[in-house]
Amino acid sequence: MRVLVTGGAGYIGSVVTELLAESGHSVAVFDDLRYGHREAVHPSATLIAGDLLDAPALDSAFQSGGFEAVVHLAAESKVEESVRDPSLFYEVNARGTVNLLDAMARHGARKIVFSSTASVYGEPEATPIHEGFPIQPINPYGASKHLCERLLRLASHAGLQHVSLRYFNACGASTRYGEWREKETHIIPILFDAVQGRRASFTLFGDDYPTADGTCVRDYIHVLDIAQAHIHALAGLGDLPSAVYNVGVGRGYSNREVIESVRRVSGMPLDYAVGPRRSGDPAALIADASKIRNELGWQPQFQDLDSMVRSAWQWRLRFPNGYASS
């Protein structure tokens, strides 16, 4: 299948592109490279540098590629930035998705797998969270992603087939591709920076949450398992009705447990300070992913946090300067 991957030069997008290419699909990546890296694009994929807010650039991409399906990952995604500048998130995430859907309609592409988020659930009243839980995001990032899900449902009336994947916390690395940003916000790579001396200290944001140890609890899911969820979703489009699926393991780890995992895996000392809560962070997010297991046959291969952290640490050791090392 000829597939366009938006955001395919980013962390998750690079691994999705890798697995699509290795599964025999013909893949092109559409990415503005603000957050992504040319070196993160699989060598068999075509890179098209472009912005989702540039409708003519999208038309040009579809005209050149003849794409049958889209995997849509391009987005603004930093929760705390969404609180500071919500209009940016609605513009890029929602308006960008409208432009993409319009281009798909003009060029006859009828299938899309959308990168959504567990942030749409906000502060759930219980865990684990299934897809029928109330949608009540507490930050503009989650709200913008839910708006995109609604746009897909509206487009389905014109024949669009769609799957939205609500990821929980992505982590880990493939042998080739891993997590590297100029301004990192995710806890595991930040902890790696701390143990390697790339940053002076690590701050734990909040230890007064209503959780067992007072720190945020998240369901960590390996990036390779997320990528496999996209492969399963793409294969199911056409045979199954459009749907929304949670993508997680079903077990939560606290931020303090993540710190201890990085200590064990790296074998290095790690000190930290406790700071105030970060705006927009729910206390606990843990997935009920039984729907995607039952309907698409997807199963996560990485079940424990240490194995996920280990793969990310091995990638960091192999590429100590990120994609500048490639």
* CA separation for the pair 171, 27 (Å, rounded): 23
In Å, what is the CA distance from 190 to each residue of 36, 122, 125?
18, 24, 29
Angle at 126 between CA 122 and CA 130, to 5 degrees: 75
* CA separation for the pair 86, 141 (Å, rounded): 8
Tokens of 323: 């994609």
Strand pairing class (253-254; 217-218): antiparallel
11 noted as active-site residue:
no
Can you give the three-state secondary structure of 97-160, one letter per residue? HHHHHHHHHHHCCCEEEEEEEHHHHCCCCCCCECCCCCCCCCCHHHHHHHHHHHHHHHHHHHCC
- Using DSSP's 3-state secondary structure scheme, residue 34 falls into coil
User: Which residue among the candidates 11, 35, 121, 141 is catalytic per the annotation?
Assistant: 141
Counting Cα atoms < 13 Å in the Cβ hemisphere of 17 gives 33
- Give Cα 150 distance to the centre of its chain: 19
Annotated catalytic residues are 141
